[in-house]
Amino acid sequence: MRIRENVSLKNYTSYRTGGTARFFAEPSTTEELVECLAWAEKNSIEHFIMGGGCNLLISDQILDHTVIVLSNLNRHILRKHKKIYAGAGVLLDSMIVYTIRSYMTGAENMSGIPGTLGGALAMNAGAFGTEIGMLTDEIELLSADGSVFTVKGADAGFSYRKTLAVEGNIVLGGTFLFEEGDRAESERIRKEILRKRALKQPLEYPSCGSVFKRPEGHYAGELIERCGLKGKRIGGAMVSVKHANFIVNAGGATGSDIKNLIEEVKLIVLKETGVQLEEEVKYLGF
């Protein structure tokens, strides 16, 4: 497995920002992943695992990590009756298209969610009333000691934007259970979901999707908008004028621009509404 040096991470995140990884690898198989982890341990270099980079903000600095990107890991889909196995590197939206074309239903509401299956399972991604945990039969994981094991979906500890079973482990893939569906109806639902996303979300700008989790009893976007923060900028980072829970790279934003704007939004919303916002986006290097 080839370990590269001094790789820019800008093209590996949906924000199109980020510094340089001192060491970098893109394994395509579980065996290659194990090799990467062993190399990092042998050389006493901290490793960081990332998927499609869709829920991640990376600092602008040189990172003394071995950054391991899993967007190519086990990138295949296998079907057996009502079940589908999809590897961690498969795009969530690609699996949804596959199920629709296979006359299977259940995932259409998540159409358009960016990122990989591995990332979706790690954070229990969801939209419009459907979460990936609802469809998960089993998660295939790699433990810290290098052993492969599976956890039943019912035992995985799925909750809002969190999956307990994944913590401390690496997602290799998952098995999902679907019902037989009407392809034309599933395509209609998917088309409508994609239309709603395009209407309400600033898809024309690089972003991480929703920056903040939904506070109990509130919606983050509504609180931010109520505070008059739509369009607020720091450098190239901007609170979207279309959806206030999106902080976008409006052109030339650095990781620091985005991080500083996130912190300022949190501070103003707490002062004006008394609600403490909590990030969905994860950080590396800050």
Q: Looking at the chain, which runs of residues are DSSP E strands?
A: 4-8, 20-25, 47-50, 56-58, 62-69, 77-80, 83-87, 104-105, 126-127, 130-131, 136-142, 148-152, 158-159, 162-163, 170-177, 179-180, 233-234, 237-239, 247-249, 282-284
CA 98 to mean position of chain CA atoms: 20
Asked whether 136 and 175 are in contact (CB, 8 A), the reply is: yes
Q: Report the interhelical angle of 183-200 vs 92-101 (nearest 10°).
A: 150
CA 38 to mean position of chain CA atoms: 25
Neighbours of 113 (CB within 10 A): 23
In whole angstroms, what is the distance from residue 51 CA to residue 111 CA? 18
Neighbours of 170 (CB within 10 A): 22
Sheet holding 83-87, edge to edge: 77-80, 83-87, 170-177, 136-142, 148-152
3-state secondary structure of 215: coil
In whole angstroms, what is the distance from residue 134 CA to residue 103 CA? 19
At residue 210, what is the residue type?
S
| Residues assigned a catalytic role | 161, 210, 280
